[in-house]
Amino acid sequence: MAVAGREGKPRARRPRRAPEGGRRRGRLLAGLGVATAALLALHRFVPNTPGRLGSLLETFLFWSGPLTAVLLLCAAVRRARTALLLLLLPVAVWAAAFGPLLLPAGAPGPRELTVLQHNVADDNADPAGTARALADSGADLIALQELVDPALAVYRRELAPRYPYHSVRGTVGLWSRHPLDAARALDIRPRDVTEPWRRALRAEVRTPHGEVAAYVVHLPSVRFGPGGLASARRDESARLLGRILAEEPSGRVVLAGDLNGTVDDRGLAPLTSLLAAPDRGLALSHPAALPVVRIDQVLARGGRVPAIRALPATGSDHLPVLARVALDADA
C-alpha cells in the first residue's frame, strides 16, 4: 500500500520493525535451543568436577525434551522464526536419544522372563498390601530392597504361596517362581562404611529357558546440595559391582536394583557398559508421589530388556517397575 507525500507523490509504506525487546527474546530462545542441543549431544564432555555436574546433568537429561517444548511454544507465540528453526536441533537430538523409549514394544518372545524391581521402603506402613500387589503382577522374579524386621516376615509370608523360592541377604531379597541355587551376599560396601552393610546378592535361577545369574542390588543413596551431586559412595559401589560382573561366568545375567541413578548417569557406567538397558518404556519410579526419574533398574546380559513399565504405587516412596527380559538362545 502507498501513501501520498508532501508533493502528492505516492510513498511506499516502510515495513514495521520488530521491537528491540522482541528481537532480544528471539535471540535468547535461539541461543537456548542451540545450548540444549549441545548439552544433549555432548553431555559426556561436561566435566564431573566440581560437584559431579556431568552426572547431575545426565540424571535429568530426559527433561530437556519438555523444556524444548516450552521453548518452542514461546518462540511460536513470539513468531521468532529463527528461534523456531534452531529449536528443531534439540528436538532432533532428543528424539534420537529418547524417542525409541516411547515406541510400543513388540510381542513377548519364547524365552522371556518378567522381572519386578521394587524398593519397598523401610518405613512402609503397609507391607502386606505391598506384597500382595507385587505378587499380583505375575512376575517370574521379584527383587526387593530395604527389607527390615518386622516387615521382612510379612513379605515372606505373603509372597510364599506364589513364590516358593527366595533368598534374603541383609536388606535385599529375591523371590522366584523357579528354583534358586548358590545364593550368596556380595561385598560392594564403600570403604568409609564401617557398620554392617549387606545390600547385594547373587543367586542362580533355574528357569525353563536355562540357568540365569540373578543379581539384586541397592546402591548407596545420592544427595543434592550446595556442592552439587554427592554420589561418591554410589559410584564406588558401582565400580565394585562392575568388577564382580566382569568376572561373572554365566552367559545370562539379570540385574535388578535400586541403583540410585539413571542409565544415562556416567556414575553407573561400570554397570551399563556390561549390561543392556531397556529398549522401550520410561518407567519413572521416584519419588512415587510425582516420579521424575527412573532409579530402579532392570539390566541384562546374554539377552535384552525389550520393555519396562511402572506399576501403581504401594506404601513405598518408590514405584515398582516391571520388565520383560528376553534371553538369548545361545548364551
The pLDDT assigned to 303 comes to 95
The pLDDT assigned to 88 comes to 94
Question: Does the pLDDT at position 12 exceed 80?
Answer: no
Q: Which one of 3.40.50.150, 3.30.360.10, 3.40.50.2000, 3.60.10.10 gives the CATH number of domain 112-327?
A: 3.60.10.10
Please tell me the distance from the alpha carbon of residue 187 to that of residue 197, in angstroms, as a whole number. 9
Contacts of 153 (CB under 8 A, 6+ apart): none
Question: Does the pLDDT at position 7 exceed 70?
Answer: no
Question: Does the pLDDT at position 190 exceed 70?
Answer: yes
| Residues forming beta bridges with residue 202, ordered by sequence position | 184, 215
Least confident of 75-79, 121-125, 241-245, 325-329: 75-79
Question: Does the pLDDT at position 20 exceed 60?
Answer: no
pLDDT above 90 covers what percent of the chain?
Answer: 83
The pLDDT assigned to 27 comes to 87
Question: Does the pLDDT at position 17 exceed 80?
Answer: no
pLDDT above 70 covers what percent of the chain?
Answer: 92
Closest CA to 205 of 229, 179, 187: 179
| Residues forming beta bridges with residue 278, ordered by sequence position | 305
- Cα distance from N-terminal residue to C-terminal residue, the chain: 76
List, for residues 287-302, the tens digit of each pLDDT value.
999 999 999 999 999 9
Closest CA to 279 of 238, 309, 242, 313: 309
What is the rounded average pLDDT of the residues 156-179? Answer: 98
List, for residues 215-264, the tens digit of each pLDDT value.
999 999 998 877 788 999 999 999 999 999 999 999 999 999 999 999 99
Q: Is 121 helix (H, G, I), strand (E, B) or coil?
A: coil
112 vs 227, more confident: 112
323 vs 21, more confident: 323
The pLDDT assigned to 19 comes to 56
The pLDDT assigned to 329 comes to 87
Question: Does the pLDDT at position 269 exceed 90?
Answer: yes
What is the rounded average pLDDT of the residues 75-100? Answer: 93
Cα distances from 315 to residues 161, 206, 250, 312, in angstroms, run: 21, 31, 35, 10
The pLDDT assigned to 6 comes to 55
Quick check: 191 and 235 in contact, CB under 8 A? no
Q: How confident is the model at residue 21 (pLDDT cuts 50, 70, 90)?
A: low
Q: How confident is the model at residue 107 (pLDDT cuts 50, 70, 90)?
A: confident
Closest CA to 314 of 166, 157, 132, 148: 132
The pLDDT assigned to 328 comes to 93
Average pLDDT, the chain: 92
Per-domain residue ranges of the chain: 20-102, 112-327
